[in-house]
């Protein structure tokens, strides 16, 4: 690989004008003791930086690019929309079309409200749940990320459940005192919380398949038990499918696991690479949203015509290719997992589901956030830097997930496995 002189120059310049030099913390590469590479173009499964280094990309913009970078049909759909205007601040028929597509593919989302990001979607869904149930408290799970809204930036204390303690300065404790934190995959812990706060909990919000502490599997029956607890306590179940929606399968985790949440939050893939989010669910609940009801939510650019056009085309392509694309994605991800695991029986554990996978630097399967925190983060940092220098771009954190796209070829997978195995041979 060539030197990274141009990226270093750009990063040093950015540090003078942008906090930390980045517009989202994980991009800083700080978690892997490195500096970011500045990307100048992307196509298919590849990205190129300002020093003309080429990488096989597995970040996929952290999930949206299931069909790869710069897909021609999605790009043309966006260009066609752009020629009619950048934004209207008014209704357009594309909003109806994408809402109908989402409702058809994810039946729990009987009505849909578009937003500009996943964070907007989750914070709006929680406000709606509180307003609908007339209760204040919510339950989230440690290690599940639902955006950077104040009441969701919390982590558990030393006990298994606690009042949420802010994870960031600038978040008053009063904002998080109604957020209760449970341990993922620990149903007994959830039951204890509901027994302690009887008739006070408005909703459980959960990543059905966590992908923000690396990829973690839900234990068998865990999600069904969560749904049962919600139903028994007049509490809404909110699935955060910003990552898993249309990636795990065409109908998301609700289809994959056969569970119908009361509300769902989605994003990423439904924008085709443009900023977007959405939340939706039962008609009786969504009907409480302004202007139909009195629970307020708004957004100047919500339903942006360019993002909607790209999202519609993405969903249409996934529908058209659904009989083969998800099988192919799973097979490629499984191939990468197998090619690495067959050569390394100790020191790593790989979780893989559909087109998502994470290499954990540990000997046992992580099942919750505490397990992930006990992984060897130093080895992960060494591994990341080694494969990066050899043309493989993985997410720059142990807590992120690798994404396979339809553009990755079998040759890409084999090349990636070869480089990963060489790196692991040096580290483990």
Enzyme catalytic residues: 145, 240, 268
The helix (H) or strand (E) run that includes residue 55 is strand 54-57
266-294 per-residue burial string, b: 16 or more CB within 10 A, e: under 16: bbbbbbbbbbbbbbbbbeebbeebeeeee
CB 247 within 8 A of CB 253: no
From the list 162, 257, 250, 241, the residue with the least C-alpha distance to 206 is 241
- Which secondary-structure segment (H or E) carries 95? helix 93-105
In 78-198, which ranges are E strands?
A: 111-115, 137-141, 154-155, 162-163, 165-166, 179-182
Query: Who contacts 77 (Cβ-Cβ below 8 Å, separation ≥6)?
Result: 272, 309, 310, 312, 313
Q: Which residues pair with 43 in a beta bridge?
A: 46
Tokens of 127: 């406000």
With left for phi above 0 and alpha for psi between -120 and 50, is residue 252 left, alpha or beta? Answer: left
């Amino acid at each position: 690989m060539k030197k990274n002189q141009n990226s270093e120059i750009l990063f040093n310049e950015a540090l003078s004008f942008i906090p930390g030099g980045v517009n989202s913390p994980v991009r800083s590469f700080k978690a892997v003791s490195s500096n970011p590479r500045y990307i100048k173009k992307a196509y298919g499964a590849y990205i190129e930086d300002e020093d003309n280094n080429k990488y096989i990309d597995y970040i996929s913009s952290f999930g949206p690019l299931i069909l790869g970078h710069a897909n021609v049909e999605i790009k043309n759909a966006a260009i066609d929309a752009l020629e009619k205007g950048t934004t209207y601040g008014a209704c357009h028929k594309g909003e109806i079309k994408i809402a109908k597509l989402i409702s058809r593919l994810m039946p729990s989302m009987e009505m849909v409200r578009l937003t500009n990001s996943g964070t907007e979607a989750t914070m709006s869904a929680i406000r709606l749940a509180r307003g609908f149930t007339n209760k204040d408290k919510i339950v989230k799970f440690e290690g599940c990320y639902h955006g950077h809204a104040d009441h969701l930036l919390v982590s558990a204390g030393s006990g298994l459940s606690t009042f949420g303690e802010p994870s960031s300065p600038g978040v008053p404790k009063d904002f998080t005192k109604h957020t209760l934190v449970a341990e993922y995959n620990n149903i007994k812990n959830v039951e204890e919380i509901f027994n302690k706060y009887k008739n006070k909990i408005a909703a459980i919000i959960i990543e059905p398949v966590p992908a923000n502490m690396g990829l973690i599997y839900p234990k068998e029956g865990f999600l069904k038990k969560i749904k049962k607890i919600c139903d028994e306590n007049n509490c809404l179940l909110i699935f955060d499918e910003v990552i898993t929606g249309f990636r795990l399968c065409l109908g998301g985790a609700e289809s994959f696991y056969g569970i119908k949440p009361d509300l769902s939050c989605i994003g990423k893939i439904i924008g085709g690479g443009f900023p977007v989010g959405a939340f939706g669910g039962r008609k009786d609940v969504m009907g409480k949203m302004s202007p139909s009801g009195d629970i307020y939510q708004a957004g100047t650019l919500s339903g942006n015509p360019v993002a909607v056009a790209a999202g519609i085309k993405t969903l249409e392509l996934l529908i058209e290719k659904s009989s083969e694309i998800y099988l192919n994605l799973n097979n490629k991800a499984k191939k990468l997992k197998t090619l690495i695991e067959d050569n390394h029986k100790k020191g790593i554990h790989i979780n893989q589901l559909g087109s998502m996978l994470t290499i954990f630097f540990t000997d046992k399967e992580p099942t919750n956030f505490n397990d992930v925190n006990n992984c060897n983060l130093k080895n992960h940092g060494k591994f990341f830097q080694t494969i990066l220098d050899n043309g493989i771009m993985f997410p720059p954190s142990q807590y992120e997930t690798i994404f396979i796209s339809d553009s990755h070829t079998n040759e890409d997978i084999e090349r990636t496995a070869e480089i990963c195995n060489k790196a692991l041979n040096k580290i483990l």
